[in-house]
Structure 1
Amino acid sequence: MTYRRSGDDNLLVEFGPMQLDLALRMRIHALRDAVTAADLDGVTDLTPSIRSLPIQTDPHVLAQHQLLVKVREITTTLPPTDALVVPSRRVRLPLSWDDPATREAIARYLAGVRDDAPWCPWNIEFIRRINGLESVNDVYRTVFDAEYLVLGLGDVCLGAPVAALDPRHCLLTTKYNPARTWTAENSVGIGGAYLCIYGMEGPGGHQFVGRTTQVWSPWQRGAFEPGAPWPLRFFDRIKWYPVSADELLGLRADITSGRFVPRIEEGTFSLAEYERFLAEHAESVAEFRTRQQAAFAAERDAWEAAGEFARAEAATAPVAAPDEVTVPEGGRLVEAEFAASVWQVNVAPGDEVSAGGRCSRWRR
């Protein structure tokens, strides 16, 4: 575990290495629940992510050093990782494959950002190629056969990052570089090892596979519970079913009015059962990953031969050399624990500063 100070009102707790690991995600979830149950005065928000938990506080009520002591104590009470079981609903959502809205976003990218990107003119063909699949139909079957576990909420423009439970369904891609300037609301795409649903219209970089219904709504009707503008929950398992582009438009109108509610089945997700599944299919998973890694390496070599990486290096702005800091006689250099922008200085040379006095104002 690593504890990091994050500004003057956040403590960042991190588990394990920087990689996609469901065991780490479930441990973060257990810590979130334990901190919530402790009902600590001064804790204002908890935002669990894949392997980290930012804990936001009111520093006037709960100082960070006090919070650190309490969180360390709470961590010792967590159950063993392989004993973790969480509520996990199966949620069936419609997916318009290769939706016209995604095609329009690609066309805008070609016209206004970059017309020679390796992932254009068709993201799905790029996904096929970089994963070593024989046809785009294999991409289609993989996406619709998969179950995707919801790992985060609110990321990717009010959307949800999800991961395929079966590693043989985990398609890998790079992201757009430079990014798109426009993405239609509720587009669905793959970036890295994650499949993401864009909760709102905006920029983006994930490789498109289609479009779905709303995963964020201020009206909170039908599928949206009162007080929760999002219908998904942590550890929901999303299962896609195909619909046409016209059918999707109708469903999008119906979910806004409350007439359409996705089919949801209650259930649980056990880490021990999942690890037994991985062990049972270890050989075929290894074969899939070997083929996938070979295709990824071949794509990278093709990029290098085409000058893609030289292009990226040429576009990198030069980094200015750091200024030397001269410490005046009688002074002392204080190194900041994190980067920030100082927007107001409240003292001048020669002023006397008392303990607890404000010297400046800053923001991260």
Structure 2
Amino acid sequence: MSVTKMTVVRPGMLTTIQDWPGRVGYWKVGVPPSGPMDDLSFRLGNVALGNPEGAPGLESAMSGPALTFDADTYVCVTGADARVRIDGRDVPQWRPVVVPAGAVLDVGPTHGAGLRVYVTVQGSIEIEDYLGSASTFTLGKFGGYRGGTLGEGDILEIEGLHDSDRIRSIPMEHRPVLPSTSNGGNWNIAVTEGPHGAPEFFTRADMDTLYSTDYEVHFNSDRTGVRLIGPKPEWAREDGGEAGLHPSNIHDNAYSVGALDFTGDTPILLGPDGPSLGGFVCPVTVVAAERWKLGQLKPGDTIRFVPVKAAHAAALGALGLERRASLPVVFSSGGDGDDGVIARRDGDTAVTYRRSGDDNVLVEYGDMKLDLALRARAHALHQRVDALNPHGLLDLTPGIRSLQVKVDPDVLPITSLMGLLHEIEDDLPAASELVVPSRTIRMPLSWDDPATREAIARYMHGVRSDAPWCPWNIEFIRRMNGLDSVADVFDTVFAADYMVLGLGDVYLGAPVATPLDPRHRLVSTKYNPARTWTPENAVGIGGAYLCIYGMEGPGGYQFVGRTTQVWNHRYPDQSGSFEKESPWLLRFFDRISWYPVSPEELLDLRADTAAGRGGGVEITDGTFSLAEHDEFLAANSDSIEKFRAVQSVAFDAERAAWSAAGEFTKKERSDAA
């Protein structure tokens, strides 16, 4: 088979290699699928060339690349409108064209509606898979070409024959319909209600406002999520309880790509590089067949969310790749009328089945509280569904008291999935029977590390200077928990054993963990608005949970310090404490404990980890029994209740102070970030 070399003459803007459907099956450990943000344009480009729909291609934002090939090559340019030339001669988009050997294919800036442009090439761009995909995840620095954007002079190899018999054009009626520039870039996007809408989290008036508002796309948007500017919700509750002071806070659960995530009062449409797990309310979710639109939203565009029935969303997807873009946004407006709740079950442990788009069901157990028995129940469901592995199952992602089940609804319809979930639920063992492997992971912690201090300073300078948690997060934690001094915060954190209940809370194996002893369970609220920068492996507390940030990025947990890496950047090479078969350090139900180190010692340990050595992490095998844990709670119930009473008084006092200061009524918009 012939090999053609493609050389990057000009990289364009944010040009990366993507494939479709991307990196599937790792949502549970915080690895996003990545892949083309406008999958429709991307896949149609491959179809035009006779490639498999998901073959690797190039994605650019705002301005495309200039490329040369050392042999005649068929290419197809799709996506947003852009001027495309070969050696200065204009050629059309959406149609395969031959780039002669040595000629320059030049894809210019996008103009009019849309933001992203795609270049697909006949044949296969030879890129080594990372966790089963060629897609680039730039934040994680893996996949694609050296884990990042393409640069001038990069050379890629393409395997395949120059075959005119395989090419076809894409008819106009099959191409994505972008809004006319004359209407200012106004988009209608179909959503289903759920998983967390009215009346439990949003008011009915909030939902009416959501559907009647033209939300504006904020300039601070990217592949992780599209930030929106719009009205602040009234909210149906005063706070998030154990999950945090703000009413947007919930116990961490899995997200869906396309979910409208309210991080505090800031709405963000989660993209294919977004987080898999988090503790914020998502009232609606973009249906799968319309998620391509997220890739073409640009700053200043406006969005109107249109609720549709789940059956209509499924029908839209079933129409196939080539037809779905040309149809009206909805067959009929109006949601299912069930507030995103598909079903409820009563019993010793109540179960709520919530809709999260047309391709996910979020199974929630019990009341909105932190209870390890609920995590045990979700774990039992996870194991059972995973063992059955029904055809059409794509991913299983556990949260604190939940399990998200992602399917291909064309293969495993949601109605069939619900029947299966009900059958399994009837046969699950009692949570008290849970005994699981549980390693003790002893890790270094640089308390109040300079990197976290820098992140707070950046936040105060660029996002919000008057936040109650500034200028020192640890003092804020002390105040919220009624402790006498910050030394008490230190002692509590270092005395605790933190059990890992979820992974991927902020990407790449980042744990969401809680102390097994409730007397060590410090509570805090999350930043609102969120930080735009967090150092890799910062350690923070949000709600009743602790997290280690897997990589640099945004965040909202209150800092206590920084530790060593929880993701093996040398993967697939084995490195130190990391196991050979996976790049993530931690497992569900591991118990994390800390020992103090200085900032200088931590830098040395981080360098050891990066070099493939141990990095000061000590691992001891063990097990965890929920029955034994319940015995411990019963034996210490008096002192636990005393601790909780003091904590509750401090929590209420802090919330009252916020209210008096206008914190809950203050007009905060995403453009503040």
State the TM-score bracket (shorter-chain normalisation): 0.7 to 0.9
Take 1:305 and 1:46, find their aligned partners in 2: how far apart are those partners?
Answer: 43
Question: 3-state DSSP class of the match of 1:149?
Answer: strand
Take 1:56 and 1:207, find their aligned partners in 2: how far apart are those partners?
Answer: 31
Take 1:69 and 1:235, find their aligned partners in 2: how far apart are those partners?
Answer: 29
2:600 is aligned with 1:242: no
Whichever structure has more helix as a proportion of its residues is 1
Q: Map Cα deviations across residues 194-247 of structure 1 (whole Å, 9 max, x no partner).
A: 111111111111111000111123323222223422110000000111111111
2:560 is aligned with 1:209: yes
**Gapped regions of structure 1 (runs ≥ 5):** 318-364
Take 1:230 and 1:160, find their aligned partners in 2: how far apart are those partners?
Answer: 10
- Contact 2:540–2:547 (CA under 8 A) maintained in structure 1: yes
The match for 2:570 is 219
Runs of 4+ in 1 over 6 A off after TM superposition: none
- Residue 525 of structure 2 is aligned with which of 170, 174, 183? 174
2:453 is aligned with 1:103: yes
**Superposed displacement of residue 55, structure 1:** 1.3
- Contact 1:213–1:255 (CA under 8 A) maintained in structure 2: yes
The match for 1:49 is 399
Take 1:301 and 1:59, find their aligned partners in 2: how far apart are those partners?
Answer: 46
Q: Map Cα deviations across residues 32-64 of structure 1 (whole Å, 9 max, x no partner).
A: 111111232221211111111111223333222
Structural RMSD (CA): 1.7
2:540 is aligned with 1:186: no
The match for 1:89 is 439
2:363 is aligned with 1:13: yes
2:586 is aligned with 1:232: yes
Q: How many residues align?
A: 315
Take 1:57 and 1:180, find their aligned partners in 2: how far apart are those partners?
Answer: 32
Larger Rg: 2
Question: 3-state DSSP class of the match of 1:309?
Answer: coil
- Residue 160 of structure 1 is aligned with which of 511, 529, 540? 511
- Residue 67 of structure 1 is aligned with which of 392, 417, 421? 417
**Gapped regions of structure 2 (runs ≥ 5):** 1-350
Take 1:316 and 1:202, find their aligned partners in 2: how far apart are those partners?
Answer: 20
Structure 1 letter corresponding to 2:399 = S
TM-score by length of 2: 0.45
Which 10-residue stretch deviates more, 120-129 or 66-75? 66-75
**Superposed displacement of residue 271, structure 1:** 0.8
**Superposed displacement of residue 316, structure 1:** 6.2
Change (3 A) 1:6 1:300: closer
- Residue 256 of structure 1 is aligned with which of 602, 610, 620? 610
**Superposed displacement of residue 67, structure 1:** 2.1
Change (3 A) 1:178 1:9: closer
- Contact 2:569–2:610 (CA under 8 A) maintained in structure 1: no
Change (3 A) 1:305 1:64: closer
2:388 is aligned with 1:38: yes
Structure 1 letter corresponding to 2:561 = G
Which 10-residue stretch deviates more, 3-12 or 72-81? 3-12
Change (3 A) 1:300 1:71: closer
- Contact 1:157–1:202 (CA under 8 A) maintained in structure 2: no
Q: How does 1:273-292 map to 2 (within 5 A)?
A: 273-292=628-647
Question: 3-state DSSP class of the match of 1:168?
Answer: helix
2:632 is aligned with 1:266: no
Whichever structure has more strand as a proportion of its residues is 2
Structure 2 letter corresponding to 1:144 = F
Change (3 A) 1:145 1:41: same
Q: How does 1:316-331 map to 2 (within 5 A)?
A: none
Change (3 A) 1:226 1:61: farther
Take 2:568 and 2:480, find their aligned partners in 1: how far apart are those partners?
Answer: 35
Which 10-residue stretch deviates more, 95-104 or 121-130? 121-130
Change (3 A) 1:4 1:117: closer
- Contact 2:395–2:406 (CA under 8 A) maintained in structure 1: yes
- Contact 2:360–2:406 (CA under 8 A) maintained in structure 1: yes
2:665 is aligned with 1:315: no
The match for 1:26 is 376
Q: Larger RCO: Structure 1 or Structure 2 (Cα < 8 Å, ≥ 6 residues apart)?
A: 1
Which 10-residue stretch deviates more, 142-151 or 17-26? 17-26
Q: Map Cα deviations across residues 256-313 of structure 1 (whole Å, 9 max, x no partner).
A: 2221152111111111111111111111011111111111222223333334334x2x
Q: Map Cα deviations across residues 60-106 of structure 1 (whole Å, 9 max, x no partner).
A: 33222222222222222221111111111111011000000001011
- Contact 1:42–1:59 (CA under 8 A) maintained in structure 2: yes
Structure 1 letter corresponding to 2:595 = Y
Take 1:315 and 1:11, find their aligned partners in 2: how far apart are those partners?
Answer: 32
TM-score by length of 1: 0.83
2:648 is aligned with 1:293: yes
Question: 3-state DSSP class of the match of 1:117?
Answer: coil
